[in-house]
Amino acid sequence: MTRLDADVLVIGGGGAGLMAASEASRHGVRVAVVLKGQRERSGATIMAPGAVAGVGSWGRPGDDRDVHFRDTVVGGAFMNEQRLVRLLVDEAPERILELERMGALWERAEDGRLYLLRIDGGHSFHRCVYLEDRTGREIVRTLGGLLDRRHVPVYENIMITRLLVDREGVYGAVGIDLTRAESLLFQCRALVLATGGAGNVYLNTDCPADVTGDGYALALEAGAQLMDMEFVQFYPIGFLHPPSLRGVLAGLLYYSHLLNSRGERFMQRYDPERLELSTRDRVARAIVTEVAEGRGSPRGGVYCDMRFQPPGFIARQTPALYRTYRQIGLDPEKDMIEVAPTAHFFMGGLVVNEDWAATVPGLFAAGEVAAGVHGANRLSQNALAELLVSGVRAGRSAARHARDVRWRPADPGEVRREEEKVRRLLASSGNRGPRPWQVREQLKEIMWQHVGVIRNAQGLKAARQAISRLRGEVLPATSLATATRLWNADLRQALENEMLLSVAECVLEGATQRTESRGAHYRSDYPDTDDAGWLRHVVLQRSGDGLQVSFRPTDLSVIKPEGM
């Protein structure tokens, strides 16, 4: 067993984690970052092609931070915690400028004076800075270089499997070195979760393979509260073909028209004013409706059409996507792409306050793993803005907390529990039980069929029965292909499956409780939005082997739905 110490431990190496580590390192505390993959090759931020929303000096006439605030809350169907949204819109512009001072590049006009800006679904104005289709990569590159200059250690290929908690709060974590299946004990005074979402709980997702809901599951087992887990955003245009790219983000809505099998630009029926720039939940449901009513493409989707753009435009604006198109034999200037919704982003997560502190002392959250900012549906481009703002606030708060609490030695017994789990899984090799990939596929299919874009009581009941069987019978019978400790992919997937199953149970519970349709949560048996009964969060907390459900009112301190 290896023991490592830090005042502030950051779990996750995407934009939120790196921003939190960067900020914490400014406050005279020892900081360490742990990530499940490799630097600048794991997490979701590195794949984000879009932009960063914020209204600074570059704002267009008529736009301001109050408009951005309203867009975000209305787009989130009034489920947002408005005090957190206010922090987002007020602080994002400075974070954008701060990143540029660190060395990030944003697209500018030819004279170099003004930012070029994008607009996407739910925004009223062009307000989002970007760099081609590699905005997220630029954020990670910049922050990674900063941490190197500050000598912040980054530990790669380590999966955290348990948070250590006592009556005073979080004081460490146990991890597994995935290269050789050895245990590591991290001791800390404060811990920041920045582990992203859980897109891999669904059959189609544009999330990287390592995004498996670890933070939600770890926090739940540590006693933290989660909320809004029923709100899962499906990006409208993921690849349907070829199979190797199924679910991967296939294009950017602001450069595309969506057509059905009749050649109709069908968003005219669903949002004639905003069309493809409607909120993502509405576009995703429109696609599902077109397919269900017989106007879909041969593979069960619709068509993404970029042929109306001038020659060279797509290659210039989205060079990475353009290379992908050409590698699979598509020319976006001549061909349409078959697309369908794909699991993209979790609006729910840990309950946090204005410091992005969770409900367990010493535990903080940044980025997608935290709830509250986006409500029932995230506006495009707000994710990168959120990870910058929440990363700074969580990192600063964790550093302050670390200075104020005493050092508590970790219990080696906690490590032995995790080591026993690994030994038990390795000993299963050669048995006739299901392989981890088979368990994963069963779970993804259940969630896609019954807890996806459109839900109802019958499907949710079927999902509950199937997931209960997975939990009680299938998961315990998991068998690995080999007992090797060196880069055992089956072992990693088996550990991740436990995380994903916990996430699935949370999404299912939230979706069952919420008997209305709001934002990304749509129930065909309750198709209307019920402001009188459901302007409240579904809050989940672990209780024994199950989930304890409670409710808390939504923050309506600034604006309310019409008629209230």
Tell me how far apart the terminal alpha carbons of the chain are, to the nearest angstrom: 58
326: left (phi over 0), alpha (psi -120 to 50) or beta: alpha
| CB neighbour burial string for 471-485, b if at least 16 within 10 angstroms, e if fewer | beebbeebbbeebeb
Going by the DSSP 8-state scheme, the letter that residue 435 receives in this structure is: P
Q: How far apart are CA 36 and CA 226, in angstroms?
A: 22
**Are 220 and 243 a contacting pair, CB within 8 Å?**
no
Q: How far apart are CA 114 and CA 466, in angstroms?
A: 54
Tokens 């979701």 appear where? 44
The secondary element (H helix, E strand) that includes residue 218 is: helix 214-221
**Are 290 and 265 a contacting pair, CB within 8 Å?**
no
Amino acid at 64: D
**Can you spell out the DSSP letters for 298-366?**
TTSSEEEE-TTSPTTHHHHH-HHHHHHHHHTT--TTT--EEEEEEEEEE--EE---TT-B-SSTTEEE-
Amino acid at 231: F
Active site residues: 280
| Structural tokens at position 241 | 């073909």
